[in-house]
Structure 1
Amino acid sequence: MSYPDKLLAEDEEVVRHLHPHWLTVFWPVLRLLLIVGAASFGTAAIPVGRQQGLLRMLVLAVAVVLLLVTVLVPLLRWRTTHYVVTTHRLLFREGILARRGRDIGLSRITDVAYTQTLWDRIINSGTLTIESAGDSGPTVLRQIPDSDGVQQLLNHMIEEDADRRAQESAGYVGEYYGGPSAR
């Protein structure tokens, strides 16, 4: 069973599964190309001599460390960050080795707002701020693709969840009093 399906209840379905906007991986990919190019040039530029092998290994070691720190970590961070809207809740998970997450029931969400800079509007990205009942404060989700569409989706899902809960409670009251839904 794949993520996020393993986190779902029986009657819960994934409506939208997002990662941060794809442009968040632009700079790591550009750094990958620059580091590989510089390392290739550096190893080729080392003059022939007794120390050539050692110097080439040193250049490659520096390149590998740079690749791990400036490329691999941001790519893994992007890949392991999940924003999932389901029929019952909003799930947020992030982290490579240490994980952190938050689940907010749709019935607990009191406000969903989004903000976009001019650049965010150009690339169709933004920041969602989700207010929920409780003391934990707002949840801020950054670099959300189609942030205005996700905000509208969340508002729609909140209304559907409220309707579903009202129907369930009406059915329960009818069953309790022996009404038509008791049959």
Structure 2
Amino acid sequence: MPYPDRLLADDEEVVRHLHPHWLTIFWPVVFFLLLVGGASFGAALVPAGRQQGMVRLAIVALALLLLLVFVAVPLLRWRTTHYVVTTHRLLFREGVLARRGRDLGLSRITDVSYTQTLWARIVSSGTLTIETAGDSGPTVLRRIPDSDGVQQLLNHMIEEDADRRAQESAGYLRDDDWPSDGGWRSTAVL
């Protein structure tokens, strides 16, 4: 599902949209399979009698409660966590009921580094640490898929953003705005 265009500026485009690594939802899926299998087996073992329906209903109710807490919540948390790299900024959005977000302008980012354990290298995951100008300290993003690729992409986007800002501050038009005769034209107002 693409990131909503309404949250972007007019000249801003999404370059990469990520969720946390798929291993984040591995254990909730395993727990789902075990819980469904265990609840089905437990309901089948209930002996026939007057209380059979109530006991089976209690097993199903307990299974649903456990599914909600240990499966649905982690899956929703994974699905509602967004890491978006655009042409102008890096956006983080997370939360199911209460939302939290942060936008980092590419011009404010001073350093992007990643770390990977051996296991993270095997599954192509890692942790990104993003340093910005200011007193807020580093932003740490854990379980990022293709963390080394995202780090390289961010460094590339930071360089492109700096070049774009330099051209804009020099007062020159973008390439598609050049006059057809090839002459230089400034957008600076005198």
TM-score normalised over the length of structure 2: 0.90
Q: Distance in 2 between matches of 1:162 and 1:20?
A: 28
Q: Which amino acid aligns with 2:13?
A: E
* Corresponding residue of 1:10: 10
- Per-residue CA deviation, residues 27-50 of structure 1 (Å, 9 max, x unaligned), is 111000000000000000000011
* Corresponding residue of 1:35: 35
Question: Contact 2:3–2:17 (CA<8 Å) still a contact in 1?
Answer: no
Q: Which amino acid aligns with 2:64?
A: V
Unaligned runs of at least 5 residues, structure 2: 173-183
Q: Distance in 2 between matches of 1:138 and 1:5?
A: 28
List aligned pairs for 1:131-142, cutoff 5 A: 131-142=131-142
- Matched residue of 1:107: which SS? helix
Q: Which amino acid aligns with 1:180?
A: R
Q: Which amino acid aligns with 2:186?
A: S
Q: Distance in 2 between matches of 1:93 and 1:109?
A: 18
Q: Which amino acid aligns with 1:77?
A: R
* Corresponding residue of 2:25: 25
* Corresponding residue of 2:185: 180
- Matched residue of 1:128: which SS? strand
- Quote the offset at 1:3 in angstroms: 3.4
List aligned pairs for 1:1-183, cutoff 5 A: 3-171=3-171, 180-182=185-187
- Matched residue of 2:137: which SS? coil
Identity of paired residues, percent?
A: 80
* Ranges of 4+ aligned residues in structure 1 off by more than 2 Å: none
Q: Distance in 2 between matches of 1:151 and 1:182?
A: 34
Unaligned runs of at least 5 residues, structure 1: 173-178
- Matched residue of 2:154: which SS? helix
- Matched residue of 1:135: which SS? coil
RMSD over aligned Cα atoms: 1.6
Higher helix share: 1
- Matched residue of 1:158: which SS? helix
- Quote the offset at 1:182 in angstroms: 4.3
| Equivalent residues, number | 177
Q: Distance in 1 between matches of 2:79 and 2:4?
A: 13
Q: Distance in 1 between matches of 2:6 and 2:130?
A: 24
Q: Distance in 2 between matches of 1:84 and 1:170?
A: 29
TM-score normalised over the length of structure 1: 0.93
Q: Distance in 1 between matches of 2:65 and 2:101?
A: 29
Q: Distance in 1 between matches of 2:76 and 2:187?
A: 52
Q: Which amino acid aligns with 2:169?
A: S
Q: Which amino acid aligns with 1:76?
A: L
